[in-house]
Structure 1
Amino acid sequence: MTVTKPDREPSLLERAAKVYDFNAHARLRGTAVPTPPQVDAPPVAPVVPPVIEAPEPESPKLETQIEEAPAPTPAPVSEAEPSHEFVDPTFLAIPEELRAPVGDELPDEFYLPDEASDTVRIDRGMLAANGMIVPGAPVGPLAEEFRLIKRQLLITGARIAESGSADKARMILVCSARPGDGKTFCAINLALSIAAERDTEVLLVDADVAKPDVVAQLGLTDGPGLLDALGDTRIDVEDFVIQTDVPHLSILPAGSKTSMDTELLASARTKSVIARLLEANPRRVVIFDSPPALAASPASVLAMRVGQVMLVVRADHTPENELRAAVNLLDGCEHIQLVLNAVSFVQGGARFGSYYGHAS
C-alpha cells in the first residue's frame, strides 16, 4: 500500500540532518535514529515482499506490498532569508552567512572512520557543527573568505622566499591579542584551505601549549607532541605528527604540559625541531596556533621564528589599544597581517559565496 503525503517545504532541522548526517554519530554510539520517510520520491515499480501473517491464529492473513523509494535527487539550496536566531557564543559569533554551506547529502563513509586506513579521520560533523570549512562539502562563503586570506599569505610567503628566507617563508603564526578572538577557529580553517592547494602540504601545530584545543576541535585523540620533542633531544618530532584523512593535512599536538613551556620554545632545541619539520617535507607549510599575545609569552617567542603572523582581530571585541600592544609584542616578525573576524553583514549587501549559490 502506497501512502502519499502532501508536499511541504522541509524544516530547518530536516535540512540540517540531510546535510550533516546526524545518524552517523548515532551509529557510532550504537544507537539508531529513525529516519523520516521521503515524501518527494517519484513512484517506482512495486517490490513484492514475503507474506506477513497476523499474530492471532483467527485473524486472516495479510499480504502487503511495499514500495521502496530510491535515494532522492539532491534538492537545490534554499534561497530563503537568513535566520536571525540566537547564535551560541562558542561559534565565535561567525555570522550565519559564513557557516558551513547547505549542499548535497554526503555518503555515510564521508563521516564514518575507516579502520583500515593508516590515517586518522577528522570529524566532519564536528567541523560543520562549529561552523568551519568541511572538506569535500560544497564551496560556501566561509571557504571563499579563507581563499582570499590564504592567497595573500601565500603571495607574501613567495616574496619572503625570494628575499632569501626560504624556511621562514613556509611558516605562519596565527595569533590574537586576547582570548576569545577566534584564533584557533581561523588557524584550523586556514590549514584546511591551504591543504586544498594542489602543490602544498600543511602541518598545523598546536603551539597554544597552555590551553591546546586544535586536536579536540578536529575530533582527534590527543597525544605527545611539540613540547615532548622540545624537552627530549632523543625524540624525532616527526614521530608525533598525525596524518589525517584530509589530503595534504597533518597535525602536531601540543604535547605534555610543563611550566617551562616558554623556556623550551625559546631554546636552541626549537630551531632544530622546526628545521626537522621543514626538512621532512619540502612542500610543507607549517601553521602555528599560538597563545594570545597579551595572555601568554610564547607568542612573542614564536613570532621570531616565522615569516608571517596572521593576527586575528574580533570585530566589536578587540580594543584598539590591545591590538597595538599585541603588534608591538609580535614585532620580532616583519610581516604581520590582520584578519577581522566575526564581522556582521548588512542585510542585502554582497556576500562571498553567492556565485556558488550558497549565500542567502
Structure 2
Amino acid sequence: MAEAVSSSMNIKSLQLETLRVVQPNRDAVASNNVVGFDSRDKRSRPFSLMRTQLAKRLVEEKIRLVGVTSASPAAGKSFLAVNLAASLSRVLKVPTFLVDLDLRRGCVAEELGIEFEAGVSDYLLGEMESLHEVGLHIDGTKLAVFPTHTVSMDSAEAIASGRFDTLVETMRKHTGEAVVIFDLPPVFANDDAVLSTRALDGYIMVVDSGRTSRRQLADAMEMLNPVPCLGTVLNRYAGGMLDSYGYGSANYDSYYSE
C-alpha cells in the first residue's frame, strides 16, 4: 500500500467546478427510481421533506459531513443517499458531494448509470494521488459523486488508513462549505461504518420495515455511539406513524404504485 498523504499542507482545494463533468444515464436513473433531481416528480416528496429538516440542522448545528447507514442489509440506504444528495443539491447554495464508502458493495455509480475509472477505493489504497481524479460533477447540477470500485481485501484496512483521514480532512477543510453525504455499509456488515462515522458529524439510520428488528436497531445505534444520530428513516413502511423527522414515514411503495 502506498504511503499516506503526509499533511494538510499538501492537500489541494477540491471544488465542484474543477471536476470532470458527466451525464447520468437516463434509463438507469428512471429504473432505479432516482427522483431527487426532479421536484415535479411526486415521488420526490419524501426526500424534499427530509432535505428540509436536514438542511435546517446543517445550518443551526454547523453539520457538514453526514453518513447514511442501516442496521440490516438491503434496507435501501444507497437509494436514500443518492436521492437525498440529489435533493439537497437542488436547494443548497453550496455544492453537495456524495461519497461512496461502501467499499465492498458500492453502487452509487450504478444507481446513476455513470461509468468511471478511478474510485474512492483506488484513492484509499494509494493508487490515485488526488480526489480530483475520482470526483465527477453531475452535469447541470451542484452535485459531485465520488464512486468506488469494490475491494477484495479487508476494507477496514482502507478505512483505518491515513488516506481515509486525508479524505475526511479534504472534505471538511478544502471543499469550501460543501455538504458531504457518505454512503456507508450496514453497521453489522463489517466494522467500516463504525470506523467511518467517528470522523463524521453525524449519521442517518435507514430502517427496513418488517425486516430490521428493534434489537438490531438498538444494537446498531449503540455501536455508533457517541456519534449523533441525525434521524431515522423507516423504509417500505405502509402505516401512518410519524418518523423521527416529524413527517409521515417515507412510504416509497405507495408513491411508486401511484
TM-score class normalised by the smaller sequence? 0.7 to 0.9
Contact 1:240 1:252 in 2 (8 A): yes
What do the CA deviations read for 1:302-324 (whole angstroms, capped 9, x no partner)?
A: 11011121100111221111111
CA–CA distance in 2 between the matches of 1:121 and 1:196? 16
User: How many residues align structurally?
Assistant: 227
1:235-274 equivalences in 2 (<5 Å) = 235-255=129-149, 257-274=151-168
Q: Which amino acid aligns with 1:154?
A: A
2:46 to 135, 145, 153: 145
Match of 1:285 among 176, 179, 185: 179
* Alignment equivalent of 1:311, drawn from 194, 200, 205: 205
TM, length-normalised to structure 2: 0.79
Deviations 1:116-165 (A, max 9, x none): xx62111233222223306346241x32211121222222222332xxxx
- Aligned residue identity for 2:27: G
Asked which structure has the greater CA Rg, the reply is 1
Tell me which of 161, 169, 172 is aligned to 1:275: 169
User: Within 5 A, what are the aligned runs for 1:102-141?
Assistant: 119-133=21-35, 135-136=37-38, 138-140=40-42
For 1:179, the aligned partner's letter is P
- Which residue type is aligned with residue 158 of structure 1? V
Counterparts of 1:276 and 1:270, CA distance in 2: 10
Q: TM-score, normalised by structure 1?
A: 0.58
What CA distance in whole angstroms lies between the structure 1 residues aligned with 2:124 and 2:144?
19
Separation in 1 of the partners of 2:180 and 2:199?
11
CA contact (8 A) 1:310 1:337 kept: yes
The within-5 A match list for 1:290-301 is 290-301=184-195
Percent identical pairs in the alignment equals 25
In structure 2, runs of 5+ residues without a counterpart are 1-19, 241-247, 251-255
Unaligned ranges ≥5, structure 1? 1-117, 162-168, 353-357
State the alpha-carbon separation in 2 of the partners of residues 332 and 223 from structure 1: 36
Residue 255 of structure 1: how far off its partner (Å): 3.5
C-alpha RMSD of the superposition: 2.5
More strand by share: 2
**Offset of residue 345 of structure 1:** 5.5
| Change over 3 Å in CA distance of 1:159–1:120 after alignment to 2 | same
Post-superposition shift, 1:280?
4.0
- Indicate the residue corresponding to 1:176 in structure 2: 70
| Residues 337/272 of structure 1: CA separation in 2 closer, same or farther (3 Å cut) | same
Counterpart of 2:55 in structure 1: which amino acid? L
Point out which structure has higher relative CO (alpha carbons under 8 A, 6+ apart).
Answer: 2
1:151 is aligned with what amino acid? T
**Are the counterparts in 2 of residues 133 and 189 from structure 1 also a CA contact under 8 Å?**
yes
